Amino acid sequence: MDRSRKRPDSDPGGSAEAEPPADKRPCTADQSTSAAPVAVAADVVAAAAAAAAPAEQQTASDMDTSSSGHAGDGDGDVDADDGDGDVDGDDGDGGSSYESDGGGSGRAGAGDGKFSRMVAAVAADGAGTDAVLAALTELCEALSFCTEDDGGYFPTEAASKALVRLARGGDDGGGGAVASPDEMLLAVRAITYLCDAMPRAADAVVRHGLLPVLCSRLLAIEYLDVAEQCLQAFEKISRRKPTPCLQAGMITAVLAYIDFFAASIQRVAVSAVANVCKKIPADCSQFVIDSVPMLCNLLQSEDKMVFSVTNLTHPALACVNEALKLAIQLIPSVARDVEDSHMVLAKEKIIVDEPRFLCQFSRDILPVLIKAVNSGANSYICYGCSSIVNNICYFSKPEMLQDLLKETNISSFLAGLLSRKDHHVLISSLKIIEILMQKLPDAYLGSFIKEGVVYAVEALLMQDDCSKSSPPPSDGMEQSENQPAIRSKPTCFCYAFDSRRSDSAETRTCRIGQGNLFNFARHVKTTYFTAEAVSSEMGLTEILQKLKTCCAVLNDSADKSLNQDGLQNEEHLSNILSEVMMELHGGETMTTFEFLESGLVKSLLNYLSNGIYLQVDDNLKDHNADHFGAVLKRFQSFAHICFSRMEQGWGDMLLTLLVRKLQSALTSLDNFPVIMSHNFKPRNNISDIPIRHSTINPCIRVRFKKDEDETNLSSYDNAVNLEISSSLNSIEQFLWPKVSTTTSDQDTESSPSSVASESKYAEDDPQVRDSSPESSPPSEGITWENQNSPVEPCAKKGSSSSAGGQPDRNKVIGTDRAVQPKLLFSLKGKELDRSVTLYQSILQDQINVGADVILDTQFWRSVHDVTFRTAANPEKDDSPDSSNAAISTNDCKTGLMWQALPFFSSLLLGKISCKIDRSSPSYDILFMLKVLEGLNRFSFHLVSNERNHAFAQGRITSLDDLKPSVSSVPLQEFVSAKLTDKLEQQMHDPLVLRSRCLPLWCTELMSTCPFLFSFEARWKYFQLTAFGSSSIQHGHMRDTSGNNIATERSPSFSRKKFKVDRNDILVSAGKVMRSYARSNALLEVEYEEEVGTGLGPTMEFYTLISHEFQKSGLGMWRGELPCEAHTDKTHIVPRTVVAPNGLFPRPWSASVECPSFSEVNKRFHLLGQVLAKAIKDGRILDIPFSKAFYKLILGQELNIYDINSFDPELATTLMEFKALTCQRKYLESCSTKECQSPSDLSYRGRRIEDLAIDFTVPGYPEYVLSPGSSSDNVNAENLEEYVSFVVEATVKNGISRQLEAFKSGFSQVFPLSTLQVFSEDELERLLCGEQDNWDFVKLVDHIKFDHGYTSNSPAVINHSNNDADDDLPSVMTCANYLKLPAYCSKV
């Protein structure tokens, strides 16, 4: 086999490039969208056994690559006067946009004649090899920028015939010349591009006999390049023609030599197999069965990347379903079915004769089943898992059962199952409990009490008693079509995993009869959990009794004022708090049930909030500065306890232990269900709201009813179709003209300016979003932050909260903020929140009543009644908001602005801005986690604050002890694996991908507690909500290694090509951003007078910009150095800014006019555009910002302690000065005569006056801090004023104008507020990738040697030597350069 990589000798256009790596090729399926070998193997086996999984949306390959990148719909854009440059054009060659920044000339295609000419040249008989290669190269280049819109004038039939002939080798039986390997390669590549750009062309190439040709090239590999290109062609064709590919033997051909190919090519091959296995016809199963051995080999794949993308290319439900069926069939069922009695007896005999089979099987599968249930699986999966556990327990002997369960917390597992609502799951759980109590009563009675199993059984019986005592529903209640989505008849799972398929579950009688669940629960309670048996084990719950006693004391004394008796009470409460917290570190294990049942979380929050957490009244006007002081003192005591043991590391801190307990408690609660759409397929629907138009999203049917007490409005009884993304504002806009009885109101409503923006995007969104990968960019002169755009139609408008920023819950987008609502809407008597869509409210209402929300045909046909009435004009309240006054209180002794800490503001108010029911246990846990996460994130500030107090009071005598050494809890400890899995499942739902409408819990938790979700999940959420459904096609998910993660990529995504000047990169960047900042297209760069375009030059473009922004002389950053002049003094060379702790804006005084500052502002504006475009396009920047600057980007306020992150020396001096001023104030307030006089204070043995510090910003003498100051120099009297001025100039006023310019530029690309789901560290990772330094060992660990090389190959071992003879050649794929080392000879 010839492994050489041949290339065309003739390449006049320079476009027949050297082949890039497989994961960098334009038509190679993205790693993230390629199916995992393991997943495909499992899916195919399941498909062969059960007639295949349902067809899913086709994934698309990553076209974000080399010079042959793929252009998309609307790519034929030309410059327009509005500066957007995003106007659709028809330029013939596929619409590729190509522009110059002024130094080059644009170019465009010539229409269908150009394609016909190229195809004719390829098909010409007797043409020489060079001519054919040139024609093929030109055709590939044109097709790479072609779209499906061009298919109308592309000669598909002629091209398919000619290309298939060349792919076959040129021998068509007519005695023609045999094609060269390069011709075959380019022919197959052209076919790949053609099928990618015009999927319908797959019909033509299949019709002309391509599939056997591709199979033959893969079964007898002669040229590696040709074989790899055949795999890529199969991946494209199999999307549209899966059955012909299957029948042609594609699976065998693709997998025959899969181990030989590189990992990225293997993913392409497996993706092709996945495509044909999604829906296998019954008469084609043999093609899959014959390939099962090869598919099983894929289960041993070591490619970790494939595991992270499995769920994106294949629904896991089909695999899980078949796996559960198989596991249930392997073990005989406990339930005796007459028809299966012989089979059950046969299986029982095998288990009795060979118990080791059952033991090994159980040992392998039990952890998997428990993990599946604990991860938040639905009732169907839970029932299957619990049935298997039940069967294992039933057929296992006591000794074997105890050995199997010794490493498993089966009690906690059963307690979680008993919290479910489905009767099948509950019955199965009770059966497991009965078996364990029969076989191992002494081993499990105590753990059942501690883990809450006994409590759950009692709660189940109490539920039965309550239902019996409550009156039955009235027969007169109408339950026709009003709310039929709540299932009166629950789904039966009794036969869900039956091997027989003759009878459907609906026609067979459910094995759970009326009342059987509660009768069986009563039997378990009276038989195994009698009062005597439970009381004998009560010693195990002493910790629960102790916690309840302590919590009662905290609740009773939580709101006492801080008088003299109150101070003693505070000391007593602090001791109790310390005692409670130490229980977390005690020798006896506190179970999750005990932790929840004790009420500890609620009591802690009530204590920390000074007793207002348990108050029902939300009126906080009676809370004054005393309330602030009490909360502050208690919070400081709590923080001190949490940070204890810090010197032993974060793992031993009480803060860490409390976080882990809270995470376990949150996992045990199941209040956030995943709502999946059933059999969702995009189809045209007519929506009445927000405006009447056609949409491919499903619509909910709504009937608006006038409130019974409403007299000023007309009735409107028609049922209307409401697009699920519609807000209540759009509903009001539709309904108000129809129900208002005032003519003037109807007239003014016909063209309201207040909803113009929302109306525009409500109308444009469904159609424009479908014709373009993203929603339309805003019009010229309107920034995204001031629009009600469809960026996140189902999320709260303006409700996003950063990891450190404060949520803006009441913000209304655009000009709506000044308009009072005219109507109030109610659902089932509950007034609806205007920041939540009606669709979200309906889903949440059904979740609250405990119904199984099923988004199927019945749901979409249901009519939901919504009541409306006139909105009352809100009364003006001129009284000052004392709660805000309390929040804005500043700890003047330390300079720490407490209102900048969002979690502390929540404690002051006694609530968090979250629409989750406050009565839910989840609310308490979320609140406490938010407090602890903020406590951890601001640990340096808080500990520094405490050191400051200690120095002022004399407990610390040396200034060197002011700076603390802090151990923070890793952010991963705050991530909930269960919630992350649920969010991932929810975002992968086809309806969510299409509509971007998530259930309320997703948006609420992401807004209030984003730290609960992993970085990868938040990145996907950001892509979905910030850029719309197309982000799943456009996105560039990156893992920690910088690889692409999980996003489907649209083959028709538009690109913008732009020519730039390498020697004037900032000017070129400015022109690019002025044209394309608002464009949704991917940016591609080509350099003037250079060959090459695509991913490589584009990435270099962003790197060059990054380096250019770091040069001194721009006036942007602290630490700028003077420029260097060459020896001939002909020109000046700018030096790079020295910023070892990251770049931070230099201060500019607003009181002094400086002509050069306008240029600085423009550069920050450009920087904002570049950063936003890099994030949107998935590019990496090489620009080291400081953590403080990232905080500013996220909207967080900085203070004196944040200066330490970019200028530690200045921060240390300022904090020491601040400590001296605090000490001075403390001494002034001291009444004892022994106190030192304030005038005797000194700084490290010198008087303040002797330091000769003037009133300017350190390092910037032109920045005068206080022109009107009474003294030119700093002294003991004005030291506090000086520190305050320096801090203001450094992190606030001195950089505010630059920051506003940056935000203005950034928001032209997408709203800056959408980044607030990330922390400052994660934002750095988003922009600049991982910052870890790789040593040689780590580098070798991440290298996969292939094509005959191993880690012991001489070429690899000697690669690190300086001798050029030992070096391997390298290549620049995008510029067609082969770089040979300086070998000593040609041999």
Residue numbers annotated as active site: 1374
Q: What is the 3-state secondary structure (H, E, C) of 825-891?
A: EEECCEECCCCCCHHHHHHHHHHHCCCCCCECHHHHHCEEEEEEEECCCCCCCCCCCHHHHHHCCCE
**Contact, 270 vs 305, CB < 8 A?**
no
Identify the three-state secondary structure at position 703: strand
**Contact, 22 vs 284, CB < 8 A?**
no
Pairing of strands 1256-1257, 1132-1133: unpaired
Would you mind telling me the total number of residues written for the chain in this entry? 1387
Q: Where are the alpha helices (DSSP H) in 910-1058?
A: 921-937, 939-952, 977-987, 990-995, 1000-1008, 1015-1027, 1031-1034
Helices 410-418, 453-469: axis angle to 10 degrees equals 10
Structure tokens at 718: 């028609």
Structure tokens at 46: 């399941």
- 5 half-sphere exposure, CB direction, 13 A CA radius: 13
Cα separation of 58 and 278, whole Å?
10
Cα separation of 1156 and 1172, whole Å?
25
3-state helix vs strand vs coil in the chain, percent to 5: 50, 5, 40
Identify the three-state secondary structure at position 1032: helix
Query: Any idea which residue has 């993706």 for tokens?
Result: 271
- 1214 half-sphere exposure, CB direction, 13 A CA radius: 26
Structure tokens at 1132: 């000046």
Cα dihedral 697/703/707/708 (nearest 10): -160
CA distances from 906 to 359, 887, 899, 902 (A): 52, 10, 10, 6
Using only C-alpha atoms, what is the Rg of the chain? 35
Cα separation of 549 and 1178, whole Å?
55
**Contact, 882 vs 624, CB < 8 A?**
yes
Query: Any idea which residue has 């720490």 for tokens?
Result: 896
Identify the three-state secondary structure at position 74: coil
User: Is 250 buried (19+), middle (13-18) or exposed (0-12) by CB count in 10 A?
Assistant: buried
Structure tokens at 546: 């102790």
Question: What is the DSSP track for 1169-1206?
Answer: HHHHHHHHHT------B-HHHHHHHTT----GGGGGGT
Query: Any idea which residue has 């190509």 for tokens?
Result: 98
User: Is 1008 buried (19+), middle (13-18) or exposed (0-12) by CB count in 10 A?
Assistant: buried
- Residues paired with residue 223 on neighbouring β-strands, in sequence order: 2
Cα separation of 806 and 664, whole Å?
27
Cα separation of 649 and 653, whole Å?
7
